[in-house]
Amino acid sequence: MHGLAKSNLNFKQERIDLAASFRWAERFNFHEGVANHFSLAVNHSGSKFLMNPNQSHFARIKASDLIEVNADDPETLSGPNAPDATAWGLHGSIHRHCPHAKCVMHVHSIHATVLATLKDSRLPPVDQNCAAFFNRYIIDNNYGGLAFEEEGQRCAALLHDPNKKVMIMGNHGILIIGQTVSDTFNRLYYFERAAETYIKALQTGQPLRVIPDEIAEKTAQELERYPQKVDRHFEELKAILDDEDSNYKN
C-alpha cells in the first residue's frame, strides 16, 4: 500500500478525536457534503498524518475510516484508498512544510466564506469572539483555483508564522491550524461565530462599535490563558455523542 494505510489499531485516541470533529462539523453546518478535509499529524515532523477518506460525508466518518498518509511519499495518489487530490495538495503541503501545524481543518463554513468573498476580508474586533482573533490570522488574497499541489504549496508558504493560526482564504473559505484536534476545532468553531456576528452587524447598515487595538489584544491574550476552556468544550461535544450512542469511535 503506497503512502497510506487504514487501521483500527494505530493512533486510537487521535482517530476518535478526529472522527468526533467531523461529526460536529456536520452538525454545525460547517461541511460541504463529501468535500473538505481535516488532518492530524501523528509523528513529530508532521510527515505522517490521519485524514478523512476520499468522498466520505462528515456525518458518517468513524475512527476506523481515517486513512494514514505519508506526506513524503510521492506515490500516495496512486495507492489504494488514495486521498482526494486537492486534500493531498493542501494538507500534504502544510504538513510537509509547517511542522507547527499538527492539526489542519479546512472548510467552506458559511459566514467565514462570506468574509472571504469581501474585498476587505479583515475581521475587526467588534465583539469578544472577534477580538480573540485580533492579529492572529492571515488573509490569502491570491486564490489560484483548486488546491492541487502547486496551490497547496503556495498556501503552505503563507503559514510560516506559528502565531497566525487562521487563514482567511480569499474567494475560497477558511483554514485553521492548531496543536491538537480540540485546540483546532475550538478555534474553527469560534471563528465561524465571530464571522457570523461581524457579517450580521454589517447587514444592519449601522456604524460598527470597534474595540480599540490595545483592548482587543488584551482580550485575545486573556482568552488564550483561560483555564481548560478548549479541552472542556471538546470533551463536552464528545460526551453528547457518547450519550447518543454514536458510532464515531468504531
Q: Is the dihedral of CA 92, 17, 131, 118 positive or negative?
A: positive
Q: What is the pLDDT of residue 1?
A: 35
Q: What is the pLDDT of residue 145?
A: 83
Q: Comparing C-alpha atoms, which of 22, 15, 159, 3 is closest to residue 70?
A: 3
Q: Which residues pair with 164 in a beta bridge?
A: none
Domain segments of the chain as ranges: 4-243
The residue-averaged pLDDT of 76-87 equals 80
Q: What is the pLDDT of residue 8?
A: 46
In this model, does residue 220 exceed pLDDT 70? yes
β-pairing verdict for 48-51 and 67-70: antiparallel
Poorest-pLDDT segment among 51-65, 126-140, 145-159:
145-159
* CATH number, domain 4-243: 3.40.225.10
pLDDT band (50, 70, 90) for residue 3: very low
Higher pLDDT among residues 82 and 19, named by residue: 19
pLDDT band (50, 70, 90) for residue 160: very high
Burial 50-87 (b: 16+ CB within 10 A, else e): bbbbeebebeebbbbbbbbbbbebeebbebeebbbbbb
**pLDDT (tens digit per residue) in 85-116:** 888 899 999 999 999 999 999 999 999 999 99
The residue-averaged pLDDT of 145-173 equals 92
In angstroms, the CA 62 to CA 130 distance is 32
